[in-house]
Structures are given as structure tokens and as C-alpha cells.
Chain A
Amino acid sequence: MPSPAADRTVARTMDGTVDGIAENAVDGPVGGAAAAIELKGVSHSYRGRLALGPIDLTIEAGEFVTVVGPSGCGKSTLLRAIAGFTAPTAGGITASGVPVDGPDPSRGFVFQQSRLFPWLTVAANVGFGLRHRPKAERVARVDELLALTGLADAARLRPYELSGGMRQRAAIARALAPGPRVLLMDEPFAALDAFTRERMQDEVRDLWRRTGTTVVFITHSVDEAVYLGTRILALSGSPGRVVLDERSELPALDHPRTDPRFGVSRERLAEVVRSAAEGAGDLVGDPGRGRTLAAEA
């Protein structure tokens, strides 16, 4: 186990620029630095039934990891375990070499249903994680994040006054405020309409390129996974295990969708997810899932 102190500097200085990603193909930390996230033999049981794992996974700083899998495969559980919301029944998780034993501002979280605090304004929501900072610094940071997410005009509004896309932007700004090393996103755009969703994908890609934050992004959309992920993971149906782990250079391109590799990747990933879903007997009959995949393939 590498020392946590040594790693922290590495994680901070790594800017995670786009070129660095594809070359990171070698598994495991380089030069004794701890990975951004490391899972060892993580599994989770629900009511005595194994729902997830065992999973071994090393996520390097600067990666944009997308995780797809059939519903009920435990991908949300995986993300919540990394966040420290739930403890896995077995195995250990470290973030930058430090064992995860609860939520921490170094790991920001974006929920599917924004979970903005309804009693606070957008600005106060974004500033929630900056309580201990001096006021001037806090105000400046909130302004900066609101500008970054295009919400400068919405600072004084309450969450219920925002559209779905704006809510998710505010949620992302809130999660970024404390300067997390890892941003965990749990199907953040699943509740948005297709048009807003594509725009949000571009914004997140932009944000990631600019901030270099490590991102773990759960989605049930194969298209989204291929579009955003520098590394794509597919989980099998219950119990969820990693059945595909692939690096991709597509997000580094200016227009990934026009690249011939995009269609190929998407096709293959869809195939993997489909067979993973069929592997779990109880998921075959799920009509919603079949339709989604057919539409995307």
C-alpha cells in the first residue's frame, strides 16, 4: 500500500489532460502513487443475496470512467460504495490511498434527482460545501462555479424555479465547489429530455477537460458511455461483475460522434450489455430495456 501523503501531491498535480488518458492503459499505479480510486474484492449482498462483485478496479487520476450495465446490476451500489454512502459487505475501497469509511468532500457526488436543497437558493446550494472558507473567498468561488456552469443569472433563484437541465448544472457546481479529486455521477442526465441531455453531455465533457477532475459516471445509455468515457466499464447482470474494461480516445476528439470508431464502439458495447442482461434470467423479459438497446444499436 503506497503512502497516502505521497499520493496526494500526485493526484493534485495531475491535470488529467486529454493526451495523458489513452496512454494510461497500464493497469495499476505508476511510481508508487496511489490510484484515485482502488477497489479490492468489493462485493455487496442485499438480503443475503449477492448483488454486486466481487470487483477489483483501479481508477487513475484524470480518467473519465463510464459504467454501463443492465438495471439491477448494482452499478449505483458500486458508486455509492465509492462515495462512502454505503459500506460494501466485503472488500476494501481506497481513495488516493486512504480507506473510504464515509462521505468526504474529496469525492463529490451528483445524483440523478439533483437533490439540491430546496430551502436554499442556487448560490447557497453551491456554497454549501464552502462553509469553513472565508466569506470573500466563498463568494468568489460560488460566482466562478456559477459562471462555469452557465448559471450566473440563476444565483438567487430556488431549485424549484429551475429547469431540469439547470438543476443538474447547479448540482454539478455544488459537487465541484469543495474541489473534489473525484466526481461521482449517478445517471445524472437520465431524467432529462434528449435535447438537454446531449447539451449536458457536451458541458460535462468540457468541464472535465478544463478541470481535469477524475470522473466516475454511471449511465444506462450505451451512447452516453461511449461519448464520454475515456474508459468504459460494462457490468453483467446481477451479481454485477466487470465484463468489459476498455480505454477510448474518442472523448479527446472534437467531434466523437462523427468518428467511424464511435459507431463501432457503440455497437460492440450495446452487444456486451445485451448479452450481460440476457445472462441474468430475470431481466430478459424487461420490455423497457429491450427497447432502449434496440433504439441505440
Chain B
Amino acid sequence: MGAGLWRAAGLRLLAIAVIVAVWQAVAMAKIWPPVFVPEPAAVWRQFVRTATEGYSGYPLAEHLLASLRRILIGCLYGIAGGISLGLLIGMLPSARALLGPLVTFVRTLPPLAYLSLLVIWFGIDEEPKIWLLLLASLPPVAVATAEAVRGVHEDYLNAARSLGAPRWALPWRVVLPSALPEIITGVRVAVGVAYTTVVAAETVNGVPGIGGMVRDAQRYNQTDVVILGIVVIGLSGLLIDFLLQSLDRVLVPWRGRT
């Protein structure tokens, strides 16, 4: 087990080294000017400068924290709404007929399609961004929850009822916990979607914010800052998914073993 982990870590490091090496080679070949393909070292210098002096008036950490805060709040609302909607859709046929298509409709829309609408409704401050992330993260959770709720084995419900649980207590005591594995998978998908959406959300008045930083850098052709932003988004996304996976192991130790 320990050896396997070291091996996996070694392979990952090797993959990163190869990517950086190829990048360095391409940059040094000067096929494209540095404005398009800056050297890894330039991005690193930009990272140090942004981290210490800041960019657009805010240090890198503050950009990142602003984005993470939006993702956190938007996802919390989205997950709460998604689980509630999913429960309704999964348990009530009439709710499925009514809300199912609506959820699918929102799910298929690219977030940018309704960002303009949200800006008209809620202005350009935090509100439209939170709404956008909410709308982006809700459907995956709702769909996962609804499917899991419909798939709950009826004998779990029968068992609970024959042990004296009243009908109204079943959603909380049986349906939600037995749907938990799928719900957590839905949450992981939702956070991923929120991550890809946050950059879109921050194209309008997004500073501080990683998306806003990237947007500003694009305006001034500061490719190194753009790449820095992309790398930071990717790495923090990896970290968050890792945390969610750990949460999954703590909350659903029985996954795949029943």
C-alpha cells in the first residue's frame, strides 16, 4: 500500500515534469512570440510578484479567496436547493413531471447564457455571481439526488416502517442517508461545474477574484498572468476535489461494499 502510494506520487511528479519540460522547449524554440507562449520561469516570476505585490490592486491570495468564497456560498445554496429539489422530484411523481424538465433545461444552458439576465436583475456586485454559481451547481445535485432517491430499495423503507418509523420521518431517517453516496458524487460534479463557472461569473466586475484577474490580464495581453490564473484555478480545484473525496470516505465508508 505504502509503496503503491509512493509510486503513484512519483508518476504524478514525472508527468508534471514532462509537461513543464515540453512547455519550456516550445517557449525556447520561439516559434511563437513570448506574448503568446511565455516561459515557465516568466510565469513563476509573475507568481512571486502577484503573490507579494498583487495584481489589479489585490495580492494573489485575495483573488483566490474571493473566488473560493463565491464558490463556497454559491455551492452551499446550490447543494441545499439541489438536495431539496431532488428529494421532491424523486419521491413525488407530480414534482417529477413539473420540475424535472425545468432542472434539465437549466442544466443544459451554458452559464454565460443567463449571466446577462442575472446582471440585469441583480446588478454587478456579489449577488449575480452567487446566483450564477447556485444555478450552475444545483442541477447536478438535484439530478443525482432524484435518481438515488428513486433507487432506494423499498425494503429499507419497509424495514423502517416495521420498526415503527412514521411515514413522514422516512425522508430524513432512511431516504437521504441511503442516497448519500450518490448525493456526494453529485456534489463533486457540482463543485466542478461551479469551478468552471466562476471564471464566467467574474468576467463582470470580478476583481478581486481569479476570474477577474485573468480577465484583466487578457485585456492587456499579459499571457503569463493568464496562465498563472489557469494553473491556480486548476490546482485549487484539485485540492478541493481531494477534500471532497476525503469527506466521501468519512461519510460513506460503505460505498461499494453492500
- Size class of the B contact interface (CB-based, 8 Å): 20 to 34
Q: Which residues of A contact B160 (CB under 8 A)?
A: 117, 128
Contact A160:B164 (CB < 8 A) given known A109-B159, A115-B159, A118-B178: no
A32 to chain B: closest CB distance in Å?
Answer: 28
Contact B177 A117 (CB under 8 A): yes
Contact of B162 among A103, A117, A159 (CB under 8 A): A103
Report yes or no: A105 in contact with B163, Cβ–Cβ below 8 A: yes
In the complex, which residues of chain B have a beta carbon less than 8 angstroms from the beta carbon of A128?
Answer: 160, 163, 165
Whether A104 pairs with B180 at a CB distance below 8 angstroms is no
Q: Is the CB of B254 within 8 A of A160?
A: yes
Cα distance, A175 to B162, chains bound together (Å): 8
Assess whether B163 is in contact with A111, with CB atoms less than 8 Å apart. Answer: no
Scoring B residues 238 to 258 as 1 if CB is less than 8 Å from chain A, else 0, what string do you get? 000000000000001110011
Q: A117-B177, A118-B258, A119-B178 are in contact. Are A107 and B162 (CB under 8 A)?
A: yes
Q: Which residue of A lies closest to B163 (CB)?
A: A129
Q: Does B174 contact A (CB under 8 A)?
A: yes
Decide if B161 touches A102 in the complex (CB within 8 Å): yes
Known A118-B178, A119-B178, A119-B254; contact A83-B162, beta-carbon cutoff 8 A = yes
Q: Assuming the A-B contacts A117-B174, A119-B180, are A105 and B162 also in contact, with contact meaning beta carbons closer than 8 angstroms in the complex? A: yes
B156 on interface, CB distance cutoff 8 Å: yes
CA distance A107 to B159 in the complex (A): 11
A47 within 8 A of B: no
The proximity string for A residues 137-163 relative to B, scoring 1 for CB distances below 8 Å and 0 otherwise, is 000000000000000000000111000
Q: Which residue on chain B has the smallest CB distance to residue A118?
A: B254
- The answer to the question of A72 belonging to the interface, with a C-beta cut-off of 8 Å to chain B, is no
Q: How far is the CA of A230 from the CA of B159 in the complex (A)?
A: 26
> B69 near A: Cβ within 8 Å?
no
The distance from the CB of B248 to the nearest CB of chain A, in whole angstroms, is 13
From the candidates A120, A132, A158, name the one contacting B164 in the complex (CB within 8 A).
Answer: A132
Whether B159 lies near A105 (C-beta < 8 A) is: no
Known pairs A132-B164, A159-B258, A177-B163; A117 contacts B156 (CB<8 A): yes
| A: interface residue count bin | 20 to 34
B7 on interface, CB distance cutoff 8 Å: no
Decide: A108 and B153 in contact? CB cutoff 8 A: no
**Complex CA–CA separation, A160 to B253 (angstroms):** 9
Asked if A169 lies at the interface with its beta carbon under 8 angstroms from chain B, I say: no
A:117-134 near B, CB below 8 Å: 117-120, 128-129, 131-132
Minimum Cβ distance to chain A for residue B159 (Å) = 5
Considering the complex, give the chain A residue whose CB is closest to the CB of B257: A160
Whether A178 is near chain B, meaning CB under 8 Å from some CB there, is yes
Q: Name, among B161, B177, B252, B257, the residue most crowded by chain A CB atoms within 10 Å (CB to CB).
A: B161
Min Cβ gap B182→A in Å is 13
One of A80, A158, A174 near B163 (C-beta < 8 A): A174
Contact of B94 with A by CB under 8 A: no
A29 within 8 A of B: no
Say if the beta carbon of B218 comes within 8 Å of chain A.
Answer: no
Q: B154: which A residues are within 8 A, CB to CB? A: 85
Shortest CB distance A209–B (Å): 24
A4 at the binding interface (Cβ < 8 Å): no
User: How far is B178's CA from A159's CA once the two chains are assembled, in angstroms?
Assistant: 13
Residues of A within 8 A of B153 (CB): 115
Q: Which residues 145-164 of B sit at the A interface, judged by CB distance below 8 A?
A: 153-156, 158-164
Of the A-B pairs whose beta carbons lie under 8 Å apart in the complex, a sample of 12, sorted by A's number, is A80-B158, A84-B162, A109-B159, A111-B155, A115-B159, A117-B178, A118-B178, A119-B254, A128-B163, A129-B163, A160-B258, A177-B163
B residues apposed to A, CB below 8 Å: 153-156, 158-165, 174, 177-178, 180, 252-254, 257-258
Q: Apart from A113-B155, A115-B156, A174-B163, what are 6 other A-B pairs with CB-CB below 8 Å?
A: A83-B158, A109-B159, A132-B164, A158-B253, A160-B253, A177-B163
